[in-house]
Amino acid sequence: MPLNYNSILLKLSNFGGIMRVYGLFGINEKAINDFIENHVKTFTIINALNLETVKNLKEGDLVFITSTLREDLRNGTEGVLGRVLNVKLSPQLINGFEEKEVIAGRVQFEMLGFAKCVNVETIHVEVAFRMY
């Protein structure tokens, strides 16, 4: 996986290892709560920064999902860890903007557990992870 602005480091507390995973930031809290409740959810992503991440995702990738903006990540920031089940990029019509059509990423995730930031670096974040 190429290292980019939305890559984060995931510290697996049960295994003591660190691995790189992608991050989606500023995700709607209601959408995250639906994901937690149902354990599988398809998110529609149109934010440019998150869309760059979606373009790199493939089935099986792990992603840290949080409502916190990337710029606001701090120690203790909580999120959810999901595994990519399906990724699709497609045009989507948006009302109220000059550009009526944008590219949207639709990503289906399976929930794996919860994660919390324990260390924020320049472009990386370490998070403690626990399976649900």
**What does the pLDDT look like over 84-102, one tens digit per residue?**
999 999 988 777 767 678 8
Nearest to 24 by CA among 50, 57, 52: 50
What is the average pLDDT score of the chain? 81
Q: Please, is 17 exposed, middle or buried when counting C-beta atoms within 10 Å of its C-beta (0-12, 13-18, 19+)?
A: exposed
User: Does the residue 51 lie in any domain?
Assistant: yes
Q: pLDDT class for 123, splitting at 50, 70, 90?
A: very low
Place of tokens 């990423």: 105
pLDDT at 126: 63
Domain count across the chain: 1
> In this structure, is residue 1 part of a structural domain?
no
Does 2 reside within a domain? Answer: no
Residue 93 lies in a domain: yes
In a domain, 89, yes or no: yes
CATH code of residue 49: 2.30.130
Determine the average pLDDT of the residues in 25-30.
Answer: 95
Q: Which domain holds residue 21?
A: 7-131
The per-residue b/e assignment along 44-73, b for 16 or more CB within 10 angstroms, e otherwise, is ebeeebbbebbeebeeebbbbbbbbebeeb
Beta bridge partners of 93: 101
pLDDT of residue 1: 46
